[in-house]
Chain A
Amino acid sequence: MEWISTPDSSNLSCFGYETNTSVLRVEFKNGGIYEYYDVPVHVFEAMKNATSKGQFLAYQIKGIFRYARV
Chain B
Amino acid sequence: MRRDPTFIGTVQDVHGATVTVELSNETITGLGFVHGEGYRIGQVGSFVRIPLGFVDLYGVVSQVGAGAAPAADAELKLYGNRWITVQMVGEGQHGGRFERGISQHPTIDDAVHIVTETDLRAIYGSGDPHDFVSVGHLASAESIPAFVNINKLITRHSAVVGTTGAGKSTTVAGLLSALSDPARYPSARILVFDIHGEYSKALADRAAVFRIEASPHKGQKEFHIPFWALSFKALSTLAFGNLNDAQAAAVSDLVVQFKRDGLERQPRDGMELSRVTADSPIPFSIHKLWFELHRREHHTLIPLPGGAADEVEHAYVLKADSAPLQLGDAMTVTPPLYRNIKTTGPAPERVQQGRDFIGIRQQLAGLASRLRDPRLAFMFNPGEWLPDLDGVVEKDLDNLLQQWIGSPEPITILDLSGVPTTILNELIGALLHILYDAIFWARNLPEGGRERPLLLVLEEAHAYLSKDDSGTAARAVRRIAKEGRKYGVGMMIVSQRPSEIDATILSQCGTMFAMRLTNDIDRGHITSAASDNLKGLFEMLPILRVGEAIIVGEAVSLPVRTLISPPPLNRRPDSADPLVVVSGDASEGYAGPGGWGQQRDPVDYRPMVRQWRKQSPHYEHQSKVDDPVNEN
Contacts and interface: CB of A to CB of B under 8 A. Distances in A.
Contact of A54 (B589, B604, B624, B625): B589
Contacts of A35: 621
Interface in B586-619: 586-593, 598-602, 604, 619
Contacts of A66: 601-602, 604, 621
Interface string A31-42: 111110110000
A5 interface: no
B621 A54 contact: no
Given A11-B589, A62-B598, A68 B621 contact: yes
A38 B604 CA distance: 15
Nearest to B571: A31
Contact of B586 (A21, A37, A58): A58
Contact of B602 (A23, A30, A58, A63): A63
A52 to B, nearest CB: 6
B623 interface: yes
A67 B584 CA distance: 19
B586 A55 contact: yes
Interface residues of B, number: 25
Nearest to B621: A37
A10 interface: yes
Given A31-B570, A66-B602, A57 B589 contact: yes
A27 B570 CA distance: 9
B309 interface: no
Contact of B592 (A30, A56, A64): A30
Interface size class, chain A: 20 to 34
B602 A54 contact: no
B588 A54 contact: yes
Given A30-B569, A38-B623, A55-B586, A67 B601 contact: yes
Interface string B122-142: 000000000000000000000
A33 B586 CA distance: 20
B572 interface: yes
Contacts of A59: 586
Contacts of A33: 570
Interface string B621-632: 101110000000
A54 B590 contact: yes
A60 B598 CA distance: 13
Interface in A39-53: 52-53
A22 B626 CA distance: 14
Contacts of B623: 22, 37-38
Contacts of B571: 31
A23 to B, nearest CB: 7
Contact of A55 (B589, B593, B604, B625): B589
A10 B604 contact: no
A22 B622 CA distance: 11
Contact of A31 (B572, B586, B602): B572
B592 A52 contact: no
Contacts of B604: 66
Contact of B593 (A10, A53, A62): A62
Contacts of B600: 63
Given A28-B592, A52-B587, A55-B588, A63 B599 contact: yes
Contacts of B569: 29-31
B591 A28 contact: yes
A38 B624 contact: yes
Given A37-B621, A66-B602, A67-B601, A12 B570 contact: no
Contacts of A38: 621, 623-625
A52 B602 contact: no
A9 B591 contact: no
B618 to A, nearest CB: 9
Contacts of B598: 58, 62
A62 B570 contact: no
A21 B570 CA distance: 24
A62 B584 contact: no
B483 to A, nearest CB: 41
A11 B602 contact: no
A53 to B, nearest CB: 7
A58 B571 CA distance: 25
B587 A55 contact: yes
Contacts of A31: 568-572
A63 B249 CA distance: 64
B570 A23 contact: no
| Residue picked from B586, B593, B621, B625, most chain A C-beta under 10 Å | B593
Which of A12, A29, A37, A58 has the most chain B CB atoms inside 10 A of its CB?
Answer: A58
A30 B188 CA distance: 30
A34 to B, nearest CB: 6
Given A10-B589, A55-B588, 5 more contacts: A11-B590, A12-B589, A23-B621, A30-B592, A54-B588
Interface of A: 9-12, 21-23, 27-35, 37-38, 52-59, 62-64, 66-68
Interface of B: 568-572, 584, 586-593, 598-602, 604, 619, 621, 623-625
